Amino acid sequence: MARFNPLRWAFFSLALSLGSGLSAGFFMPAQAELHSSLQLNLDTSRLGVNDRLVASFLAPGSLSEPPDLSSWQDSFLISSPQRSLLTRHTTQGRSVQTRWQFKLQPRQAGLITLAPIEYLGQTTNSLSVRVLDNEVPRSILADADSFVMTSLDKMKVYRNAQALLTFSIYHRDPLPESTEFIPPYLEFGQVRTLGEPRQALIDINRQAFYVTELTYALFPDEVGFVGVEAPGVRIPGPQNADQLELLADNLVLEVMPEAHVSSQGFWLPANDLLLSDQTRSLEDESQPRLIRHLHLIAQGLTSERLPEQLLDAAHYSHYRLLSRDLEEHTSAQGVTTWLQELWLIEPQASGLYEHPGVDLYWWDTQAEQGRVLSTPHSELEIALPEPLMAAPVSTIEANTPWPLAWISLLGGAALLLLAFGSWALQRRGWRLAFRSVPKPEKPDHPNASAVEWAEAMALQQAPNAKPMSAEKPSAPHSSTHSSTQSPAQIADEALAFQILAASCERNDMQAARSALVSWSRSFWPDHAIQGLDAIYEVARNQTLNFLILDLEHHLLHPHEGVWQGDLLLQAIQTLRKRRQLALSR
């Protein structure tokens, strides 16, 4: 048996200790690699629907590309990432890590499961967050009398497209009338305020709060991560005390570049685009003429983005632009732009004329794809009336001296005037004399003309007609009326206008037609107006005639689109203002 040697045992123990130390030193880098792997942390697992949580990603190395959180967008509004570098110096050397932080605002209440994120070849674990409804945000003290919050309907938006920002003010007491609202600010872009503030009374954690909301439409004009200076509010204190100013946290929008630009250079990012194209003939014209009405409605797009002309008619001599009207309307859903163009088509001779179509290439921001809005290119067949054949000139007329020629010319002019007078009498009511009605007495005024007598007959046939005064014959046909109106007539016209305005605001076609006829009778009391046809001749206003044509078209074709009565109402208001201005002079 071997003999125990203390010296050998001590040497063996020393070697074992050294081996253990070397083993520990050998495995230390593996332990550092473990701490340098991808990590995901949430600052909370329970929050209110109006609150935000912070998701932090920690990855080894100096990185420039953030993780892709698109799989979380259905559950959260995600801010742009904030990047920071973490440098650590140890005895083993220097290590660098990149931290990415995202602010997440939940879209709805309930239990939300965050899908795993793959980044740098590694995958995070699945996490869950519980979102509570009507819970006071953690950043607000329990005894706070007022606080503000903001939210965006999207965190990514195309350049010049619309993003909606909602600014919410929570307050225990109603806001004073002198409260000042501070709109958000974009250094490169436009901001539109959408309507007036909306107020409601809600319950938050068994506490009654007023909530006042404003919505703004943002149209950024810069690509990249764009900062938005958040809105705020200034609430005056009681009895001239210092005012309370509340400012929300600034926001960040990720603005994407143009996805589709047309060959004409247009970039039209919109929620929806609607086009109406109607062509009608103008009646009571000496030659065939047509009116083409183009009406474009762009939702989620400002007026500056629309093309200068919908129709490229530079190469068509028979086309002439009459008017171009551009309007912006705002609602809680955003900005809606109306563009209306009126084109006059004037053919010079019979034949086929090109009827150019409209092609608009636009980007659908809802469906994330390009679309084309177009009307077909066609031809119009125009048949002008044949001119009268000139009578052959006899040799006697050719040799007629100049004085006799002038006599013949004057005689021909007299015949033309007689023919025109006969046509005018028929148009103004001469045919009424042949009906079985009592023949009115001819006015006693010695200078009363045949036209005035015919007008008297027409007035007698019309319902509620007023008898012609023997001392003051009726005035010739005119779109103006007497400057002397009785208070009763003024009141009747004002009441009729209120009824017409209500019908136009409701976009009620049937009611607007009846109200328009009633108002016209009050506005032009000297004329017997029985229908829309009579208004054309009395008004002698091209804009009003076009809008009445549009009303008649929608009455005949109610399924082709919704009739909008605001333009007709504006035309009526213009007529009333012009008359009031003329009477005040």
Residue 396: CB partners within 8 Å, gap ≥ 6?
Answer: none
- What are 526's two structure tokens? 């000297």
Same domain, 546 and 570: yes
pLDDT score for 303? 92
Looking at the DSSP assignment, which residues form a beta bridge with residue 132?
48
Same domain, 274 and 247: no
| Residue in this structure with the two tokens 């309307």, named with its chain if needed | 329
Looking at every residue in the chain, the average pLDDT score rounds to 75
Provide the residue range defining the domain that includes 206.
146-256
- What are 40's two structure tokens? 């995901």
Same domain, 494 and 529: yes
Tell me: the pLDDT tens digits for 232-274?
Answer: 999 987 766 678 889 988 888 889 999 877 777 789 999 999 8
Instruction: Output the CA–CA distances (angstroms, integers) from residue 91 to 28, 32, 88, 194, 518, in the order listed.
Output: 12, 12, 10, 60, 96
Residue 387 lies in a domain: no
pLDDT score for 121? 87
Residue 30 lies in a domain: no
Residue 67 lies in a domain: yes
pLDDT score for 13? 56
Residue 14 lies in a domain: no
Same domain, 354 and 278: yes
- What are 400's two structure tokens? 């007629």
Tell me: the pLDDT tens digits for 1-47?
Answer: 455 555 555 555 555 554 444 443 433 333 333 344 788 988 888 88
Same domain, 377 and 292: yes
Residue 412 lies in a domain: no
Tally of CA atoms within 13 A in the half-sphere of 204 that contains its CB: 26
Looking at the DSSP assignment, which residues form a beta bridge with residue 228?
251
Residue 401 lies in a domain: no
Q: What angle do CA 81, 84, 90 make, to 5 degrees?
A: 150
Same domain, 154 and 245: yes
CB 104, CB 20: distance < 8 Å: no
User: Does position 480 have pLDDT exceeding 70, yes or no?
Assistant: no
Tell me: the pLDDT tens digits for 87-108?
Answer: 877 777 778 889 999 988 888 8
166/215 Cα distance (integer angstroms): 4
Residue 101 lies in a domain: yes
Same domain, 277 and 356: yes
pLDDT score for 419? 45
Same domain, 238 and 278: no
Choose the final residue of a domain: 132, 162, 185: 132
- The pTM of the full predicted model, rounded to 2 decimals, is 0.50
490/482 Cα distance (integer angstroms): 12
Same domain, 306 and 364: yes
Instruction: Output the CA–CA distances (angstroms, integers) from residue 146 to 166, 172, 251, in the order listed.
Output: 17, 7, 21
Choose the final residue of a domain: 132, 155, 174: 132
With H, G, I as helix, E, B as strand and everything else as coil, classify residue 41.
Answer: strand
Tell me: the pLDDT tens digits for 421-454?
Answer: 444 444 333 333 333 333 334 344 433 433 343 3
Greater confidence (554 vs 408) lies with: 554
Same domain, 277 and 199: no
> What is the CATH classification number for the domain harbouring 322?
2.60.40
CB 493, CB 481: distance < 8 Å: no
Number of domains in the chain: 5
Q: What is the CA radius of gyration of the chain?
A: 40
Same domain, 289 and 376: yes
pLDDT score for 179? 92
Choose the final residue of a domain: 256, 280, 306: 256
Same domain, 252 and 276: no
What does the DSSP 8-state code read for residue 310? S
Residue 500 lies in a domain: yes
Taking Cα atoms as reference points, which of 15, 43, 261 lies closest to residue 160?
A: 261
Tell me: the pLDDT tens digits for 190-220?
Answer: 999 998 999 999 887 778 889 999 999 999 9
Residue 23: CB partners within 8 Å, gap ≥ 6?
Answer: none
pLDDT score for 26? 37
